[in-house]
Structure 1
């Protein structure tokens, strides 16, 4: 029965199915949907690519910023180190420790000390410069430690003459005493100011200079 009519339902009346002939009716909708889907996928891909490039650019910018900060900190640390050590560096340079050795100044200072202290004649010999090895934990950068051996012979009135001489000699540069041998003079003291002792000393004048490759190295 059909509702409200009192008539039985038509057995041939069935639901509407999609037929091939109906395709033209929805063709435009399908094309629009496909185009919209393709456009959406393209936009999503482009958005992801843009975001990826932006993230990479951000990471690169952060890395550059971090590197710039590191360089700035290093420059500040270097400037602070220069301020801390500049005075000491200038002192060592003025004393002849940094740079080329100053043999002429050594000789002139020996003569001046002898004259001022009224010492007996002093003889000396200076050997060729050598490279001194330093402990591995001591960093000298592009420089290396050099040493020149000097042998001294001098007559003394007393031990104090030798001590005063070595003390005054520090004004000529930095050196280290290898050994000093004192012995009584072979000649008898004829007057109160005649020499009573004789000294033979070996010392090394030290300088910090540029790297060399053809100089003899001393053992550590």
Structure 2
């Protein structure tokens, strides 16, 4: 076939269609790449948002688990007089009742002002502070067992937590008479601390129950 025999009108239409298809295809390919990049950026942003929300939810969920686990124990310490206000009146009344119950001839005490307690070992309480009320206890006992029974009653009846850091016992007389309930045979003198947990600035912890 010779060149002059070719129907250029037919080929011209096909050639134009081919060129248009190439141009449109290239545009679609370029546009597809841009769309894909935009979608990837949107996915990255939404995924970061989802991860942030999930992290907050997990943190709240973990906090709720911690509250359910430890709050009952916290309430026990609060109602037991260890966390919260100073239970000075309770300590005095418990000592008086114990003295009468045990028929201790003489029982005296002195409670000094409450202050921040500094233990001899490292103690990190975070936002909280351990406070101590120092008490001097003096009693005339019939025998050594009276002190042990007194402390047992404090353990079971008194609010709060205490610690004894010094005790001295001296005979009141040369003759020990355990039959007399009006006169003690042993003079007992003890130094003790009553502990209370408050906020670090001294604010009393209050719980609505």
TM-score by length of 2: 0.72
Q: Which residue of 1 aligns with 2:9?
A: none
Q: Could you list the runs of 5+ residues in structure 1 that have no partner in the other structure?
A: 1-32, 214-220
Deviation at 1:143, TM superposition (A): 1.2
Q: Which residue of 2 aligns with 1:18?
A: none
1:195 aligns with 2:184: yes
Residues 74-89 of structure 1 correspond to what in structure 2 (within 5 A)? 74-89=59-74
1-structure distance, mates of 2:47, 2:135: 59
Q: Could you list the runs of 5+ residues in structure 2 that have no partner in the other structure?
A: 1-18, 203-209
1:96 aligns with 2:81: yes
Q: Looking at CA atoms only, which structure, 1 or 2, has the larger radius of gyration?
A: 1
1-structure distance, mates of 2:113, 2:34: 71
Deviation at 1:209, TM superposition (A): 0.4
Deviation at 1:90, TM superposition (A): 1.8
Q: Deviations for 1:87-126, whole angstroms, at most 9, x for unmatched residues?
A: 3222211110001211111111111111222222211111
Number of aligned residue pairs: give it. 184
| RMSD between superposed Cα atoms in Å | 3.3
Q: Which residue of 1 aligns with 2:162?
A: 175
Match of 1:163 among 133, 142, 148: 148
Deviation at 1:84, TM superposition (A): 2.2
1:204 aligns with 2:193: yes
2-structure distance, mates of 1:177, 1:45: 84
Greater displacement, 157-166 / 140-149: 140-149
Contact 2:136/2:189 (8 A) holds in 1:
yes
Contact 2:106/2:141 (8 A) holds in 1:
no
Residues 44-63 of structure 1 correspond to what in structure 2 (within 5 A)? 50-63=35-48
Tell me, what secondary structure is at the counterpart of 1:128? Answer: coil
Q: Which residue of 2 aligns with 1:108?
A: 93
Alignment CA distance shift 1:139-1:70 (3 Å):
farther
2-structure distance, mates of 1:181, 1:118: 20
Tell me, what secondary structure is at the counterpart of 1:57? Answer: helix
Alignment CA distance shift 1:50-1:127 (3 Å):
farther
2-structure distance, mates of 1:179, 1:78: 42
